[in-house]
Amino acid sequence: MRRRYSIILAIAAAAGLFSVSVFAAEKIKGDFAEIELLFQHSPVAPGSSSAVQIKFDLEKDWHFYADKDTTPQGMSLKIRPTGTGLTFGEPVFPKPTLYFDKVTNKEVRVYSGNFSVFIPFTVGSEIGSGEIKVAISGLACSKDLCSKADYELSKKIEVSKAAKMDVPVFKEPRQSVGGANQNPTTGVGANQTKHIVLPLAVLAGLLLNVMPCVWPILPIIVTRLVQQAGQSRAKSVAFGTAFAVGIILFFVALAIVSIVLKLGFGMIFQWGDQFRNPAFVTGMALLMVVLALYMFGLFTFGLPSSVSSQSGQQSGLIGAVSMGFLAAVLSTPCSFALLTSVLIWAQTQPIVIATVTILLIGIGMALPYVVLTSIPGLLEKMPKPGKWMEHFKYAAGFILLGIGIKLLEATPAERIISVLYYAVVLSVCVWMWGGWVGYSTPKAKKVTVRLAAVVLAVVFGFVLLAGPKTELIDWQGYDTGVIESAKQMNKPVLIKFTADWCFSCKVLDKTVYSKEEVAELIKNKGVIAIKADTTQLDWPATIGLKEIYGEPSIPVTVLLLPGESEPVKLRGNMIKAKLIEHLQSLQDVKE
């Protein structure tokens, strides 16, 4: 399949076959795309500014390439407008999405689904009717087919002094698509980010008070502050405000940490771009799993007793501020996972938005103390601590797992299963670290158990998360024509029947076909190496496995040797010695 796809891709790119050429029209419906041309204003006034919108609606699994550097022959999506008396600006493209190209074995940027390209233009001084033409070209591909596309859209436009341009059909291009105001990582505009994130930050701060570490002591703290104020309501409000300032100061410290990380890593290493790196995204996804396990209670994050014992040792407004700061610190054993997630998210945002968001979380956490010290009677109406707090904490853990899964969307498809396997192993290691030992566990046993957990995590990390190695063997796709041609020319053929879902096949690759000794023999003996992928039931290799070679299961390696009427079949993954024996019996290829 890969070889066939590569051939189609090469032909489509180089020779222009499988191409689509469509003559000018206002709206075009092709085999894999529907494209429409729209005007922002119609008619337009002389000397005014307007824009053209080209709406794309691609069929499922089809995409245009967005980056000329990663597109065959540089055939990325191109838009060329023309029109008499009009001056066009540069086309404004949407933010591309990432797509893992199995042919080139790397991620490329593509446009898919429903998207629009905008072209701003200014109108000359002449009055009358004209026509705007837009030429569209590029390479469009699905999973197994590519097409060189050439379209031309056209639409008449009137230029009139009486044109009313107060009701545009669509917004200005830079308000609608990725441009200077767009967040490079999330694809959300800065204004949209503020409208969504900032209110959620206050809500997140309020919810921190629901954590089991905070909720039970909240009434105790408020009662103490009210008692210190005596009968004075003004003093009670002042103490509550001072306590809230202490909480906010803790989040100021977090904001400073975020700024340092942003300046130290974000600008030097382009932190936002790291989210386009599959290895980095995998690490972030696994971190979300660990933080979720923390919320589920598989391990804990404790504070030194010297810190926790400082609670309540000072009085007065200064004492209230220090109590607030310490209360925020003492909440970290429960809020550690959420605060870590916030710091990670903050690195993907502009410094101002990230800082304001962190501070708003602090304000949200501090707000109840101001309200309750102002109206102490509300304490009686607060829900009592109970099981519901644990349920809330577990729910937050499941949300973190969901975020981890979402992050994996940027991981190449063939690696996701390995990452999920490792997530299970990592969970076991975390369980060993936090669940197999306790405070009363002897130090020697504690060190042994936790060292074993670390070793397991590291070893399985190398096994399951190691990037794909360069193939030592030049595999060809399964093709009966190639096999028959090799047999007629008395060339030896090795057919490796495999599948993506076959674990034993992966063991076979690691123990046999990744060995230089085997690869050298295959090369020196002139063996035609065929990778027969049987992942799907109706694929040619699957049919050939049963109908031609009579094998019911995989992995199986079939050797077609010169002078032998029957194929040699090596079943399973413990075949290295036998395979080497057969390969060594062949004659070396003459240089």
Give yes or no for a contact between 201 and 364, defined as CB atoms under 8 angstroms apart: yes
Tens digits of per-residue pLDDT, 54-106? Answer: 999 998 888 898 887 777 666 789 999 999 889 998 898 988 887 776 655 56
pLDDT grade for 532, boundaries at 50, 70 and 90: very high
Is the model more confident about 337 or about 489?
489
How does the average pLDDT of the chain come out, rounded?
A: 78
**Matching residue, tokens 């066939």:** 4
Omega into 199 within 30° of 0, i.e. cis? no
**How confident is residue 2, by pLDDT bands cut at 50, 70 and 90?**
very low
Quickly state the pLDDT bin for 497 (edges 50, 70, 90).
Answer: very high
Domain with CATH 2.60.40.1250 in the chain: 2-171
Q: Is the pLDDT of residue 16 over 50?
A: no
Q: How far apart are CA 120 and CA 117, in angstroms?
A: 10
Higher pLDDT, 395 or 36: 36
For 116-157, write each residue's pLDDT tens digit.
999 999 998 888 888 999 999 888 888 777 888 888 999 999
Q: Which two tokens stand for residue 363?
A: 């304000």
Alpha carbon 446 to its chain centroid, in Å, reads 36
Place of tokens 């020779």: 15
The amino acid sitting at 482 is V
Which of 41 and 403 is assigned the larger pLDDT?
41
Question: Residue 560 has what pLDDT?
Answer: 95
pLDDT over 90 (residue 520): yes
Cα–Cα distance measured from residue 79 to residue 161, given in angstroms and rounded to the nearest whole number: 29
Q: Which residue has the tokens 């130090």?
A: 443
Dihedrals φ, ψ of 151, to 5°? -125, 155
The yes-or-no verdict on residue 178 having pLDDT over 50 is no
Cβ–Cβ contacts within 10 Å for residue 54, how many? 20
Helix, strand, coil distribution of the chain in percent, nearest 5: 50, 20, 30
Q: Can you read off the two tokens belonging to residue 529?
A: 């190496």
Supply the Cα-derived Rg of the chain in whole angstroms.
Answer: 32
For the chain, give every residue range classified as CATH 3.40.30.10: 476-584
Cross-strand partners of 21: 150
Average pLDDT over every residue of 144-173: 82
Lowest mean pLDDT among 111-120, 385-394, 518-527: 385-394
| Greatest pairwise CA separation for the chain in angstroms | 106
The CATH architecture that domain 476-584 belongs to is 3-Layer(aba) Sandwich (3.40)
pLDDT classification of 273: cutoffs 50, 70, 90:
very low
Q: What is the mean pLDDT of residues 395-402?
A: 81
pLDDT value at position 301? 56
pLDDT greater at residue 50 or residue 270: 50
Question: Which pLDDT belongs to residue 405?
Answer: 84
Percent of the chain with pLDDT over 70: 75
DSSP letters spanning 536-573 = STTSHHHHHHHHTT---SS-EEEEE-TT-SS-EEEESS
Q: CA 501, 504, 510, 514: dihedral to nearest 10 degrees?
A: -80
Q: Which pTM value belongs to this model?
A: 0.44
The CATH code for residues 2-171 is 2.60.40.1250
The amino acid occupying position 242 is A
139-143, 312-316, 342-346, 365-369: lowest mean pLDDT where? 312-316
Q: Residue 307's closest CA among 272, 332, 282, 288?
A: 332
Categorize the per-residue pLDDT at 184 as very low, low, confident or very high, splitting at 50, 70 and 90: very low
pLDDT digits (tens, 9 = 90+) for 289-340: 887 887 788 877 554 444 444 444 455 678 778 887 877 776 766 666 667 7
User: Can you give 47-96 as a three-state secondary structure string?
Assistant: CCEEEEEEEEEECCCCEEECCHHHCHHHCCCEEEEECCCEEECCCECCCC
| C-beta separation of 119 from 81 below 8 A | yes
